[in-house]
Amino acid sequence: MATNNTAAQQKVQGHFAQVNGLKMYYEIHGTGTPLVLIHGGGSTIYTTFGNILPELAKHHQIIAVEMQAHGHTQDIDRPLSFEQDADDVAALLQQLHISKASVFGFSNGASTAMQIGIRHPDLVEKLVLASGFYKRAGMQPWFWPMMEKATFADMPQIYKDAYLAIAPNNDKGLLAMFNRDSQRMLTFKDWTDDALRSIQAPALILMGDQDVMTPEHAVEMHRLIAHSKLAIVPGTHGEFIGEIATVKKGSKVPELVVAMVEEFLAEK
Count other Cβ atoms within 10 Å, centred on residue 75. Answer: 16
The residue that leads in pLDDT, 79 or 199, is: 199
pLDDT the model gives residue 4: 44
Confidence category of residue 5, pLDDT binned at 50, 70, 90: very low
Count other Cβ atoms within 10 Å, centred on residue 121. Answer: 12
pLDDT the model gives residue 6: 43
Write down the domain spans for the chain.
5-266
The answer to whether 223 touches 150, Cβ cutoff 8 Å, is no
Residue-wise pLDDT for 35-71, tens only, equals 999 999 999 999 999 999 999 999 999 999 999 999 9
pLDDT the model gives residue 249: 93
pLDDT at 104 over 70: yes
Residue-wise pLDDT for 224-255, tens only, equals 999 999 999 999 999 999 999 999 999 999 99
The answer to whether 66 touches 20, Cβ cutoff 8 Å, is no
pLDDT the model gives residue 2: 44
Count other Cβ atoms within 10 Å, centred on residue 227. Answer: 11
> What does the mean pLDDT of the chain come to?
95
Beta strand residue intervals within 73-211, DSSP E = 101-106, 124-130, 203-210
Q: Could you say which DSSP state residue 153 is in?
A: G
Q: Is 172 exposed, middle or buried (0-12, 13-18, 19+ CB in 10 A)?
A: exposed
Average pLDDT over residues 77-97: 96
Within its chain, how far is the Cα of 158 from the centroid? 17
Q: What's the pTM value of the predicted model, to 2 decimals? A: 0.95
Average pLDDT over residues 172-181: 96
The answer to whether 162 touches 44, Cβ cutoff 8 Å, is yes
Question: Strands 101-106 and 60-66: what pairing?
Answer: unpaired
CATH architecture of the domain 5-266 equals 3-Layer(aba) Sandwich (3.40)
pLDDT the model gives residue 13: 78
Average pLDDT over residues 111-127: 98
The answer to whether 206 touches 130, Cβ cutoff 8 Å, is yes
Sequence-separated (6 or more) residues with CB below 8 Å from residue 198: 118, 121
The fraction of the chain above a pLDDT of 90, given in percent, is: 94
